[in-house]
Amino acid sequence: MNHISRRRFLQLSAMTGGALAFSDLASQTLGLIRKGSVAYAGEPIKIGILDPLSSPYKTSSIHDVHGANVAVDLFNKRGGVLGRPVVILEADDASNPEQAVKVATKFIKEDRIDVLMGTFNGDCALAVSALAKKENKLFMVTGSHYPELTGAACNSHTFVFMPNASMLSQAVVPHLVKAYGTRWYMLTTSSWDGRSAAQAMASATQTHGVEFMGETLMPFGSTDFTSALTAAKDKHPTLIVLNLYGWDLVNALKSYAKMELAKDKIGIGGMLSGEQIGRPLGYANNAGIWSLIWDPKINTDGSRRFIQGVVDKYNHTPTSRCYLGYAAMTQILEAMQRAGTTDADALVKALEGHEFDGLKEGRSYFRASDHQHVQDVLVGEAYGKELGLGHYKILATVPGDSVASVVNPGACRL
């Protein structure tokens, strides 16, 4: 991977943007396209995105929608999909499964959407997954890492773009053991997501001789982690594992930095972080070793095109949540083009087993047996200063096949 500075990246982005603009102008001059005159036939294709826009996950949710919007813009500039424009409808599931089903039902019954997409919380994803099958709608899960979605609770109409908890944990655990040793204490959100993360981390450590010194459960939406971190410190661990995400994770890492636990030789890390966590934290508070879904230092053609699209539209480099929204939306729309229809059954067939550009170095494909996106998982170490593009030094790129093979073998019956 090539590491470049943020300033140099933005300079290159501006140059590339100018080249793209010149290319469009040349095409107009040659009569290949008409400026401002894209013609569509038929009603818009509607993609309904459900995300927790008002919960501790809200910052990541906004990035999810940003990425999806960039993908839709690219397709619409080329004439849409199946000769029809694509539009996004957004709704807040508030990290609540009842609310998620309510807004998803409105999408289906009143807004007449073609495909459902989104959700971060595992319980929300499971509830919408069941509804999607009942209503014969494709559902692309972008944010939830809950393993049951491609395990015992899998169904024919749901695909999961996010690496699940087992994949993420299998990737990061060896690096945590190497860096911090084997005396671990866990802080876990008392939610489905937190519990699934804790279970996955415990399972991934079984061959590494890890001893768990204890665990503290934290309410979802906690802001003060001082007492929990003090209880952890009293057990003399070498590592505190944070089975948290969103603002919960941000607040916990701020407390870790404020308490200066690194001076006590207590490490920090866990299953999931990324630029969407590092940015609100700031360099001074960010720490630890983590699994990462994607990172702006990935130097592939697809990744660079994606970065350019986000910079052009939103004037910031993308986070991994932008990546999920963009890449998942791209696969939905490309499946419609391959199938020649928005029919859910046809889209399922177009996606099953399909290999595609996942904007990473290794293979990306939807496993036909359970609809899990098999993909690279990155491992990154947080740094207290800018390191090229972003807050993390990439320690490893773990191929998807090496971690996906241990995920719920035979548990899914589509």
Per-residue pLDDT tens over the stretch 98-129: 999 999 999 999 999 999 999 999 999 999 99
The CATH 3.40.50.2300 portion of the chain extends over: 38-163+297-374, 166-292+379-404
pLDDT score recorded for residue 27:
38
pLDDT score recorded for residue 247:
94
pLDDT at 21 > cutoff 90: no
pLDDT score recorded for residue 38:
59
pLDDT confidence bin for 78, thresholds 50/70/90: very high
pLDDT confidence bin for 338, thresholds 50/70/90: very high
For the beta sheet containing 364-366, the strands, ordered from the edge strand earlier in sequence to the opposite edge, are 355-356, 364-366, 373-374
pLDDT at 196 > cutoff 60: yes
297: nearest Cα among 356, 381, 355: 381
pLDDT score recorded for residue 372:
97
Averaged pLDDT, 393-401: 97
pLDDT score recorded for residue 406:
65
Query: CA 116, CA 396: separation in Å to the nearest integer?
Result: 33
pLDDT score recorded for residue 383:
87
φ, ψ (nearest 5 deg) of residue 302: -65, -40
pLDDT score recorded for residue 345:
98
What are the beta bridge partners of residue 140?
Answer: 117, 159
Averaged pLDDT, 281-309: 95
pLDDT score recorded for residue 62:
84
pLDDT at 184 > cutoff 70: yes
Query: What fold is seen in the domain 166-292+379-404?
Result: Rossmann fold (3.40.50)
- Per cent of the chain over pLDDT 70 is 89
Please give the structure tokens belonging to residue 163.
């690496």
What's the mean pLDDT when you consider all of the chain?
Answer: 90
φ, ψ (nearest 5 deg) of residue 116: -100, 145
What is the 3-state composition of the chain as percent helix, strand, coil, each rounded to the nearest 5? 45, 20, 35
CA distances (Å), 276 to each of 172, 267, 287, 381, in order?
Answer: 18, 21, 14, 15
Right CATH for 38-163+297-374 from 3.40.1280.10, 3.30.450.20, 1.10.4030.10, 3.40.50.2300 = 3.40.50.2300
Please give the structure tokens belonging to residue 53.
């826009």
pLDDT at 75 > cutoff 70: yes
pLDDT at 315 > cutoff 50: yes
- Per cent of the chain over pLDDT 90 is 80
pLDDT score recorded for residue 57:
83
Query: CA 281, CA 116: separation in Å to the nearest integer?
Result: 31
Helix or strand holding residue 192 (H, E) = helix 192-204
Lowest mean pLDDT among 54-58, 138-142, 244-248: 54-58
pTM of the model: 0.89
pLDDT confidence bin for 388, thresholds 50/70/90: confident
pLDDT score recorded for residue 174:
98
